[in-house]
Amino acid sequence: MAHAVDAGVPVVQVERPRSELGHRITVKNYQGAERAMRHLIELGHRRIAYVGEEPGSQSNPFADYVENERFGAYRDVMVSMSCFRDELVSFARPKSSEHIPGAGHGY
């Protein structure tokens, strides 16, 4: 990133940014997850599982906000409906990009 920015190359990071350099395009993870949860609740569902990476598990602090927002929305909606249960939460291990060709270009 720094090399491209220093060379004057326009840089745009999409979703999980790797640094503060360049521009970023991100989605509204909290609002999207909250809306999806409320939709499921409106359909009558109450035992809704959360399967995802644990908030705070990312080695890159610029990317960790995604899990924080998504799980935060899940937890907030489930608590507000008195439906939150620990057994409905399953945290996956963070993805490793060590063996992925082109690592660092997305996630």
Element (H, E) at 11: none
Token digits of residue 72 = 């935060």
Asked if pLDDT for residue 5 goes beyond 70, the answer is yes
Asked if pLDDT for residue 103 goes beyond 80, the answer is no
Asked if pLDDT for residue 105 goes beyond 60, the answer is no
pLDDT, tens only, 31-85: 999 999 999 999 999 999 998 888 877 777 666 788 889 999 999 999 999 988 8
Residue 88's nearest CA partner among 53, 51, 54, 56 is 51
The reported pTM is: 0.68
Determine how many CB atoms are found less than 10 A away from the CB of residue 47: 9
